Amino acid sequence: MIAFADDVSGITVSFEFFPPKSETDESFWRTIAKLETVHPQFVSVTYGAGGTTRDRTLKTVARIAAETTLKPAAHLTCVGASKHEVNEVVRDFYNAGVRHILALRGDPPGGVGTRFVPHPDGYRNAADLVRGIRDLGDFEISVSAYPERHPDSVSIEEDLAFMADKAEHGATRAISQFFFHNAFFLRLRDRIAARGIDIDLVPGILPITSFARVSEFASKCGAHIPPALATRFQGLDDDPETRNLVAAMVAAEQVDALRREGVKHFHFYTLNRADLVYAICRVLGLGSVAQAA
């Protein structure tokens, strides 16, 4: 049961988007404009698997920097590219006014579960990329985190060793893969603290726009779906209005429970839709006239 506290001060949010397919996709820019009203700390734009959206990611973050009040963060992976090529992209981001990069290894071209082979002249993993970016300019650097273990990793301990490396090289924030059992996130937060890793762990929240799609994502990345969650969405495939109300409630419950555990920043996977995320932010007390003042 949600029983929101009056005090939501200090809560901040950020949003993740895919770059739009075309520069004339005005619905994307309407989504951005709507979510701008809740004053996110930053908005991030993904980098297609294997660098496939390199130009679109760059154009999108450049336009966000030039035409909105938002601070863009560009995702960047090191798959299939030499250090020289990746460094060029980092410089392009810098010249476009971007000062925040989400540094990732990326998935191998064969997809999740296949072996990652670094480019012969490339960065070996995310930690190596973090070091490269830090040497190129004054960037804020975020990285990934996996509350339920990365599919390539043999143990949470191995994930933590990678996390420690990323933090030592200069990453200051780790944004988590989405999850539906808060206990996994809180366990990771405790383990990061116990190992003395100096990094802010931020939960990645995925509002459920389509239960079938989320189940598919979840099975690919190893996120567990509680049976009670499946029950809530059962039979709603052809009832988008009820589904959206349930989805907003589920995400608001998750966020509220995390807030009660001391979480202050939430990163939302928007899937380029404003409606659910905007509603959840309003429930959190963000986006009001008072906040704008």
- The verdict on 162 binding ligand FAD (CB under 6 A) reads yes
* Window 231-270: residues binding ligand FAD (CB under 6 A): none
The identity of residue 10, as a single letter, is: G
Q: CA 147 to CA 186: how far, in whole Å?
A: 8
Report which residue's Cβ sits closest to ligand FAD.
153
Residue 202 or 208: the one with the smaller Cβ distance to ligand FAD is 202
Angle at 205 between CA 260 and CA 199, to 5 degrees: 70
Does the annotation count 16 as an active-site position? yes
Give Cα 129 to chain centroid, integer Å.
18
Q: Identify the residue among 54, 75, 100, 259 touching ligand FAD (CB under 6 A).
A: 75
- The verdict on 164 binding ligand FAD (CB under 6 A) reads no
Query: Least distance from C-beta 158 to ligand FAD, angstroms?
Result: 4
Q: CA 251 to CA 205: how far, in whole Å?
A: 7
The identity of residue 6, as a single letter, is: D
Residue 48 or 285: the one with the smaller Cβ distance to ligand FAD is 48
Question: Quick one: CA dihedral 86, 53, 19, 12, positive or negative?
Answer: negative
Residue 23 or 158: the one with the smaller Cβ distance to ligand FAD is 158
Residue 139 or 162: the one with the smaller Cβ distance to ligand FAD is 162
- The verdict on 107 binding ligand FAD (CB under 6 A) reads yes
Q: CA 289 to CA 92: how far, in whole Å?
A: 36
Query: Least distance from C-beta 237 to ligand FAD, angstroms?
Result: 27
Kindly give the residue spans of alpha helices, DSSP state H, lying in 98-200: 126-136, 156-169, 182-194
Query: Least distance from C-beta 57 to ligand FAD, angstroms?
Result: 8
Among residues 137, 131, 101, 106, which one has the least CA distance to residue 119?
Answer: 106
* Window 200-229: residues binding ligand FAD (CB under 6 A): 204
Of 152-160, 187-195, 224-232, 258-266, the segment contacting ligand FAD by CB under 6 A is 152-160
Q: Identify the residue among 144, 182, 209, 270 touching ligand FAD (CB under 6 A).
A: 144
Q: Which residues contact 259 (CB under 8 A, 6 or more apart)?
A: 5, 8, 11, 284
Query: Least distance from C-beta 160 to ligand FAD, angstroms?
Result: 8
Q: Identify the residue among 126, 141, 167, 206 touching ligand FAD (CB under 6 A).
A: 126
Active-site pick, 16, 88, 140, 241: 16
Integer angstrom CA distances of residue 283 from 49, 186, 227, 252: 34, 22, 25, 7
> Distance from first CA to last CA of the chain, Å, rounded?
31
The identity of residue 186, as a single letter, is: L
Q: Which amino acids are annotated catalytic?
A: 16
Applying CB under 6 A, which residues contact ligand FAD? 46-47, 49, 75, 77, 102, 104-107, 125-126, 144, 150, 152-153, 158-159, 162, 175, 177, 204
